Structure 1
Amino acid sequence: MEKLQQLRTLLETAEKEGQAFYEKNNNAAGTRLRNALQQMKALATDLRKEVTEKKNTVK
Structure 2
Amino acid sequence: MARFDEVKNLVMSLESDFEKFYEKNNQAAGTRVRKGMQDLKTLAQNIRSEVQNAKNGAA
TM-score by length of 1: 0.91
Q: Per-residue displacement from partner, 1:4-56 (whole Å, max 9, x unpaired)?
A: 11111111122221111010111111111001100000000000000000111
Q: Matched residues in 1 for 2:35 and 2:3: separation?
A: 17
TM-score by length of 2: 0.91
Q: Specify the code of the residue in structure 2 equivalent to 1:58.
A: A
Q: Matched residues in 1 for 2:13 and 2:33: separation?
A: 8
Q: What number of residue pairs does the alignment pair up?
A: 59
Runs of 4+ aligned residues of structure 1 deviating over 6 Å after TM superposition are: none
Question: Percent same amino acid at aligned positions?
Answer: 41
Q: Write out aligned runs for 1:10-25 (5 A).
A: 10-25=10-25
Q: CA RMSD in A?
A: 0.9
Unaligned runs of 5+ in 1: none
